[in-house]
Amino acid sequence: MDRERPIGVFDSGVGGLSILRALRAELPQENFVYFSDAGHAPYGEKREDFVTGRSLAIAVDLLEQHRIKALVIACNTATAAAVHLLRARHTHLPVIGVEPALKPAAALTRTGHVAVLATRGTLSSGKFDALLASLRGQADFVLVPCDGLAAAIEDDDTARIRDLCERYTAGIGRFGNGPDEIDTLVLGCTHYPFAGDVFRDLLGPQVQLVETGAPVARHTRRLLQAQDLLNPQGSAHVQWQTSGSAQALHAAAARWLGLGGGRSMDPGSRPG
């Protein structure tokens, strides 16, 4: 039955596990297929046409091999590059993208000053420009491209993660609750929530960290419910696929989700 088919989730690597974590919490009776394109990560520092090609190929593979009933693009860069094409090519398939949580941040900030950490690919996209323009006047947004941070999280390089978090937050401005201080930080890449403890340690409890997992999970539930696709009897089981190291994906799933798994597979030869 269509209801029992899994939900496909993909990212350039392990960052999308932050979205998968929220999906499993919101939809505990759904099953999932997670594809980590670690063999081609990070997307945020790649050309847009490359990211588009990978996204289209992965979607085809998930449809053909797993008969997914919905697709969650658990990557801001891939969403910006390919969500419109995926929706146009697969009109029968609910396609859910992610975007930096600027709207929730604008609603949460008390000082009116918000910092946005994201990849260059996300910040330079037309989709992000449109989102930013839609919020003009609601808050002051400081945009910070964080080269190398997603890769450091992918590699679980603790020292490098802290060094980069320190470097990027130090160059933004003053954090705090004062009238000219930044009180809200948007983690605008799905990898960045896994550095959340580092940011909290550096910035203190007065700064709010905003990520996208929970809103994406709620939106996914609404779309499935609207199409009568909610699974009444799944178990949040996850099938794992990766174009990179299955061992690395296994370790990341165990570390951040308490799960294990991963087998190597690369759909790159499939037509987009």
Options 75, 78, 149, 252, the catalytic residue? 75
Tell me, yes or no, if 146 is annotated catalytic: no
CA–CA separation, 4 and 243 (whole Å): 26
Options 189, 195, 203, 249, the catalytic residue? 189
Contact 8, 70 (CB under 8 A): yes
Q: What is the 3-state secondary structure (H, E, C) of 162-176?
A: HHHHHHHHHCCCCEC
Kindly give the residue spans of alpha helices, DSSP state H, lying in the chain: 17-26, 48-66, 76-89, 102-108, 120-123, 126-134, 149-154, 158-170, 196-203, 213-226, 246-257
- Looking from the CA of 150 toward its CB, the CA atoms found within 13 Å total 33
Residues labelled catalytic: 75, 189
